[in-house]
């Protein structure tokens, strides 16, 4: 795969990924576009610039680990992994069909290069921290990157994990909260407000960076700061827009878990051209 630190190149990849997300969910007639589109720059920056990994050697012991806590957003993960060369690009449109490797939620039985089967919210951060512990024991430079949803962090287990990460000084774990302000039933502030969010993470002992989750340069700078931060784990609170890039999906709770119609897909692909 061709890694790059050039923000323009990364932005081009992000645009392709967005198109693939919209197309695969349309083909499947179900799935979660909103949270896939909000996390696109985060995953593209990680997989194409920040993380050390090798699609030709997916089980390389010292690879960095990626865990999508909010497993329902797997279209963005599938698209990025396919763009990297882990899995076939031309099969993305089999998403959610019987026998497809692109299951409704990430499933290691179907894609062994995945680090975790997720879909039940709230468990990814603990997994990532466990992997970070193992890396430290092994003297490995491997780091764990975990993407969580802002609704997902309402799970109590997230805060148990947060305490664990700071207590064990796991500076080789980076958590990214995709703070798109919307969950399944509506706006996060109306379902179970998570504010003051940065204060919460700071109080739990994490190095906390607030960042524009759609600015590749800002994300690159934040990941560099995370790498340089020793003695405590880092969390990026990535301010994002759910449905980013498609006008009628942006900030619209309806597109948490609704597939676009064929006409909507056409319109979306035009906007993403």
Partner 1 sequence: MVANKFELKPGGATREAFGKTLVELGRESKDVVVCDADLSKSTYTHLFAKEFPERFFSCGIAESNMVAIGAGLASAGKTAFVSSFSAFVLNKGFEQLRVTAAYPNVPLKVVGTHSGISIGEDGPSQMSIEDISLACSLPGFSVFSPADEVSMAAIMRLATAHPGPVFIRAGRAKTLVVYGPDQQFEIGKAIELVTGTDVVLIAHGLMVAESLKAVDLLAAEGISAGVVDMHTIKPIDREAIIRAAQVGAIVVSEEHLVDCGLGVRVAQVLSETKPCIVEYVGVQNTYAESGTPDAILDKYGLRAANVADAAKRAIARKRG
Does residue 119 bind partner 1 (CB under 8 A)? yes
Of these, 23, 79, 172, 180, which contacts Mg ion (CB under 5 A)?
Answer: 180
Q: Minimum CB separation from partner 1 for residue 105, in Å?
A: 5
Of these, 7, 35, 71, 260, which contacts partner 1 (CB under 8 A)?
Answer: 71
The burial of 188, by beta-carbon neighbours within 10 Å (0-12 exposed, 13-18 middle, 19 or more buried), is given as: buried
Q: Minimum CB separation from Mg ion for residue 34, in Å?
A: 8
Q: Minimum CB separation from Mg ion for residue 70, in Å?
A: 8
Mention every residue, 6+ apart, whose C-beta is less than 8 A from residue 74: 36, 68, 102, 103, 104, 105, 106
Does residue 142 bind ligand TPP (CB under 6 A)? no
Q: Are strands 173-179 and 234-239 parallel, antiparallel or unpaired?
A: parallel
User: Which part of the chain contacts partner 1 (CB under 8 A), choosing from 5-13, 16-24, 26-34, 227-235?
Assistant: 26-34
User: CA angle, corner 203, sides to 201 and 205, nearest 5?
Assistant: 75
Of these, 11, 184, 227, 269, which contacts partner 1 (CB under 8 A)?
Answer: 184
Q: Quote the CA–CA distance of 269 and 182 in Å, as a whole number.
A: 23
Q: Minimum CB separation from ligand TPP for residue 179, in Å?
A: 8
Does residue 185 bind partner 1 (CB under 8 A)? yes
Residue nearer to partner 1 on the CB measure, 7 or 124: 124
Of these, 84, 175, 176, 182, which contacts ligand TPP (CB under 6 A)?
Answer: 182
Residue 46 DSSP symbol? I
Q: Are 258 and 36 in contact (CB under 8 A)?
A: no
In the chain, the largest separation of any two C-alpha atoms, in whole Å, equals: 53
**Quick one: what does residue 192 bind among partner 1, ligand TPP, Mg ion, none, with the CB cut-off 5 to 8 Å set by partner type?**
partner 1
Mention every residue, 6+ apart, whose C-beta is less than 8 A from residue 99: none
Q: E-assigned strands of the chain?
A: 65-68, 144-149, 173-179, 207-212, 234-239
The burial of 165, by beta-carbon neighbours within 10 Å (0-12 exposed, 13-18 middle, 19 or more buried), is given as: buried
The burial of 220, by beta-carbon neighbours within 10 Å (0-12 exposed, 13-18 middle, 19 or more buried), is given as: middle
Number of chain positions touching partner 1 (CB under 8 A):
31
Of these, 128, 149, 165, 243, which contacts Mg ion (CB under 5 A)?
Answer: 149
**Quick one: what does residue 67 bind among partner 1, ligand TPP, Mg ion, none, with the CB cut-off 5 to 8 Å set by partner type?**
none
Residues that bind ligand TPP (CB under 6 A): 32, 34-35, 38, 70, 72-73, 119-122, 149-152, 178, 180, 182-184, 242, 256
Residues that bind partner 1 (CB under 8 A): 28, 30-31, 71, 96-100, 103-105, 107, 110, 117-122, 151-152, 154-156, 183-185, 190-192
């Amino acid at each position: 795969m061709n890694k790059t630190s050039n923000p323009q190149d990364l932005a081009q990849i992000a645009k392709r990924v967005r198109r693939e997300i919209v197309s695969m969910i349309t083909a499947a007639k179900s799935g979660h576009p909103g949270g896939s589109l909000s996390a696109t720059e985060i995953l593209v920056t990680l997989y194409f610039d920040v993380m050390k990994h090798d699609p030709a050697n997916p089980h390389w012991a010292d690879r960095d680990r990626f865990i999508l806590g909010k497993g329902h957003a797997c279209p963005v993960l599938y698209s990025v992994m396919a763009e990297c060369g882990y899995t076939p690009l031309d099969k993305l449109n089999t998403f959610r069909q019987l026998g497809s490797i692109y299951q409704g939620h990430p499933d290691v039985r179907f894609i062994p290069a995945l680090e975790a089967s997720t879909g039940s919210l709230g468990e990814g951060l603990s997994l990532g921290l466990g992997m970070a512990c193992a890396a430290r024991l092994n003297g490995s430079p491997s780091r764990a990157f975990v993407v969580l949803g802002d609704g997902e962090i309402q799970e109590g287990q997230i805060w148990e994990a947060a305490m664990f990460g700071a207590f064990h000084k796991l500076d080789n774990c980076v958590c990214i909260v995709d703070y798109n302000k919307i969950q399944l039933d509506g706006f996060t502030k109306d379902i179970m407000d998570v504010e003051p969010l940065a204060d919460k993470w700071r109080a739990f002992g994490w190095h906390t960076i607030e960042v524009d989750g759609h600015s590749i340069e800002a994300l690159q700078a934040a990941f560099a700061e995370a790498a340089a931060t020793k003695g405590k784990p880092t969390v990026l609170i990535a301010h994002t827009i759910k449905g980013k890039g498609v006008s009628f999906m942006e900030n619209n709770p309806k597109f948490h878990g609704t597939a676009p119609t064929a006409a909507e897909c056409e319109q979306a692909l035009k906007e993403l051209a």
